[in-house]
Amino acid sequence: VDELVMGERPGGAGDHPGPEPVPPRRPTITDVAREARVSIKTVSRVVNNQPSVRAETADRVLTAVRRLGFRRNDTARALRSGRPAASVGLIIEDLANPFYSAIAAAVEEVARRNDTLLITASSEEDRDRERRLALELCERRVDGLLVVPAGDDHGFLRPDMEMGIQAVFLDRPPSRLTADTVVIDNVGGARAGVAHLVAAGHRRIAILVDRPAIYTATERLAGARAAIEAGGLTLDSALVRDGLHDPAAGRAAVAELLGRDDPPTAFFASNNRITVGVVEELWWRRAEADVVGFDDFELSHLLPRPVTVVAYDVAEIGRAGAELLFGRIAGDSGPTQRIVVPTTLVQRGIASR
């Protein structure tokens, strides 16, 4: 008699409208096994496409699977098999920023080729969030972590890395921790950009950079300085502006610099936000000046004036980092790597057509 109820579909329809909409329990392989009158192991075999099952039996199982709406529970599978379902975590500052989303897309592409799911999390430049997210991802037993550092101490990751969680850092090196890193050639790119201005005969070149706490800002400033000194000039600190974090700050800096007695004849903007501000202000004033900006960006070719940009393959940062990571996950235990993505100078702006 007990047999009669055993085919009961968990949370199935056809019940009386109970007072509580019972959260439908997902069927397990045990349910399927009972329904198909086989052992759970056989169900496991069928569900995992293992060969040694007679077609007829497999059919019965598959039918039961469909009838019950069975879906293998990856959590249990991961627990038992020891290898957690493949996944890697990516911690960036802000997914809405095209720079980061390009990296994320590249990482995701590599992850997919490795049959791995990507968990994306934004740190919002908050070191505590970064830390919490990283640790949470470790608890979820991701196979690896890709992180664009926001904080200035990544030592907290050391225990997990010793336990086998791989981590690769993107765009900026980690602090107080040794790990694989992929960076852009910030110094070389800035140097080439400013050298371009020097070669064009400029003597008074304004250098506009972001907050000094930002790794790339400092590197790019160093590159700019190197180019100026290589050109036999000296860096006039009155022409250096830092702490510029958005287009408005870039605009203000340009306005202020052009108001000086001896204004600069060229501008080096150390990132695309500043570049946009510079272009806006110069256009507004119909002012003459050569502009070089670090970072290329969407529609830069439609800017209303010529601009030279220090371009590089953003996706390559994510791609190279992900390849590195999957290499490590696969067991590569070679020495720590540091990959430098090269830059090139490109002419942009609509007058350059």
Partner DNA sequence: ATGAAAGCGCTAACAT
Partner DNA sequence: ATGTTAGCGCTTTCAT
Under the criterion CB under 8 A, does residue 95 sit at the interface with a second copy? yes
Q: Side chain identity at 59, as an amino acid letter?
A: D
- Nearer to DNA by C-beta: 43 or 198? 43
- Nearer to DNA by C-beta: 80 or 286? 80
- CA torsion angle 168 174 177 180 (round to 10): 30
Q: At what angle do helices 40-47 and 55-68 cross, to 10 degrees?
A: 90
The option from a second copy, DNA, none interacting with 119 (CB < 5 to 8 A, set by class) reads a second copy
Q: Of residues 61, 279, 325, 341, which one binds a second copy by CB under 8 A?
A: 279
- Site residues for a second copy, 149-208, by CB under 8 A, read 159-160, 162-164
- CA–chain centroid gap for 187, Å, is 22
- Nearer to DNA by C-beta: 85 or 177? 85
- Nearer to DNA by C-beta: 45 or 154? 45
Torsion region of 149: left, alpha or beta (phi above 0 gives left; psi -120 to 50 gives alpha): beta
How many residues appear in the chain? 353
Q: Of residues 44, 101, 114, 337, which one binds a second copy by CB under 8 A?
A: 101
The option from DNA, a second copy, none interacting with 18 (CB < 5 to 8 A, set by class) reads none
The CB-of-79 to DNA minimum distance in angstroms stands at: 4
Under the criterion CB under 7 A, does residue 48 sit at the interface with DNA? yes
CA distances from 257 to 173, 239, 352 (A): 33, 7, 26
The CB-of-102 to DNA minimum distance in angstroms stands at: 36
DSSP reduced 3-state for 350: helix
Q: Which residues contact 32 (CB under 8 A, 6 or more apart)?
A: 40, 43, 61, 64, 65, 68, 70
- Nearer to DNA by C-beta: 32 or 92? 32
Q: Of residues 13, 19, 80, 115, which one binds DNA by CB under 7 A?
A: 80
CA distance from start to end of the chain:
84
How far apart are alpha carbons 111 and 321 in whole angstroms? 11
Q: Which residues bind a second copy (CB under 8 A)?
A: 11, 21, 23-24, 26, 69, 71-76, 78-79, 84-85, 87, 94-96, 98, 101-102, 104-106, 108-109, 112, 117-122, 135-141, 159-160, 162-164, 276, 279-280, 283-284, 297-299, 302-304, 315, 333, 350, 353
